[in-house]
């Protein structure tokens, strides 16, 4: 299938897409650090240029209590990059704010904390909010109407001229919204069990990107749980490490991730992680 970015983001926001426990932790940096290293900024620039993901993002499709849900099998880094851009575009393209920040810093009527407040608004604003921004209405929507009237209303025209330039940079060919124009190619595996999805994950990554030994074990040992740890103290220590491992693996992930809960059955991979 093909999904617009807006459809993909809607499914992520509605928690319809999860990351299975055998999936790898995301690895991409936000900004390029080394030549040819995958990173979020380069991928978003690629989508701006090509308007299509080209390589498909792969999901297992499930029916859960009459609701269709999806398990991400391949493309976790790309999903994180897209979601990050839609949530906070200027963490990926900070240079787009250079002119605006310079202008804010020239406003002699603003105190330093006022300037920092304004800069922080733009640093953390979402794609939709910056694209749809009407300057005075935006400050009303965040309950800062008094701040707007007293401190920056007289500079509205200058602000709006700079914001208009920024909005054009964030559009496809300066006219179309990124989230409504860019298509994401999607492979859906319907009716597959977890064992089969593990095998698909392994096969995909044999060719696209080499799995580490641990990453390979995560899918190979997923359903092996017919063992018992006889020493209760050691078992509890291992379980604590397993909790920490999955908690850390969830950090800054865009998708719903597996988190070990008390009394969850541990598989052979979990045991290896906890023991190590």
pLDDT (tens digit per residue) in 169-192: 999 999 999 999 999 999 999 988
Q: Which of 273, 266, 261 is nearest to 229 (CA)?
A: 266
* The predicted structure's pLDDT at residue 207: 62
200-239 as b/e: b if 16+ CB within 10 A:
bbbebbeeeeebeeebbbbbbbbeeeeeebeeeeeeeebb
Sequence-distant (6+) residues with CB within 8 A of 21 are 218, 222, 246, 257, 258
CA 59, CA 76: separation in Å to the nearest integer? 10
Q: Give me the residue label for tokens 């020493």.
A: 231
Q: Which of 20, 22, 18, 74 is nearest to 216 (CA)?
A: 22
Q: Predicted confidence band at 122 (pLDDT cuts at 50, 70, 90)?
A: very high
Residue 262 pLDDT exceeds 80:
no
Percent of the chain at pLDDT above 70? Answer: 98
CA 44, CA 52: separation in Å to the nearest integer? 10
Residue 203 pLDDT exceeds 90:
no
* The predicted structure's pLDDT at residue 205: 76
Q: Predicted confidence band at 208 (pLDDT cuts at 50, 70, 90)?
A: low
Instruction: Give the mean pLDDT of 92-120.
Output: 97
DSSP conformation letters of 150-215: IIIGGGHHHHHHHHHHHHHHTEETTTEEHHHH-EEEEEEEES--HHHHHHHHHHHHHHHSPPPHHH
Q: Which tokens go with 153?
A: 């209303």
Residue 211 pLDDT exceeds 80:
no
Residue 3 pLDDT exceeds 90:
yes
Give the chain's radius of gyration (CA, Å). 23
Higher-pLDDT residue of 37, 188: 188
CA 135, CA 155: separation in Å to the nearest integer? 10
Q: Predicted confidence band at 209 (pLDDT cuts at 50, 70, 90)?
A: low
Percent of the chain at pLDDT above 90? Answer: 76
Q: Which of 232, 206, 238 is nearest to 219 (CA)?
A: 206
CA 48, CA 65: separation in Å to the nearest integer? 37
Could you tell me how far CA 226 lies from the centroid of its own chain?
35
């Amino acid at each position: 299938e093909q999904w617009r970015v807006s459809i993909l983001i809607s499914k992520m926001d509605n928690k319809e897409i999860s990351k299975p426990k055998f999936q790898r932790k995301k690895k991409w940096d936000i900004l390029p650090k080394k030549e040819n290293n995958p990173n979020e900024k380069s991928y978003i620039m690629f989508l701006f240029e090509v308007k299509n993901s080209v390589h498909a993002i792969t999901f297992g499709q499930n029916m859960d209590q009459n609701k269709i849900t999806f398990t991400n099998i391949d493309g976790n880094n790309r999903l994180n990059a897209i979601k990050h851009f839609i949530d906070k575009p200027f963490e990926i393209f900070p240079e787009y704010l250079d002119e605006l920040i310079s202008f804010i810093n020239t406003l002699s009527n603003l105190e330093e904390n006022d300037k920092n407040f304004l800069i922080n608004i733009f640093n953390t604003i979402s794609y939709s909010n910056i694209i749809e921004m009407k300057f005075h209405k935006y400050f009303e929507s965040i309950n800062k109407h008094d701040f707007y009237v007293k401190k920056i209303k007289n500079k509205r025209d200058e602000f709006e001229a700079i914001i208009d330039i920024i909005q054009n940079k964030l559009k496809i060919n300066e006219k179309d919204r990124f989230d409504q124009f860019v298509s994401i190619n999607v492979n859906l595996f319907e009716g597959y069990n977890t064992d089969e999805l593990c095998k698909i994950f392994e096969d995909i990554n044999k060719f696209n990107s080499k799995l580490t030994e641990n990453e390979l074990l995560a899918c190979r040992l997923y359903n092996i749980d017919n063992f018992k740890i006889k020493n209760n103290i050691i078992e509890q220590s291992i379980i604590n490490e397993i909790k920490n491992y999955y908690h850390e693996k969830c950090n800054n992930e865009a998708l719903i991730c597996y988190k070990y809960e008390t009394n969850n059955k541990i598989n052979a991979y979990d045991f290896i992680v906890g023991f190590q």
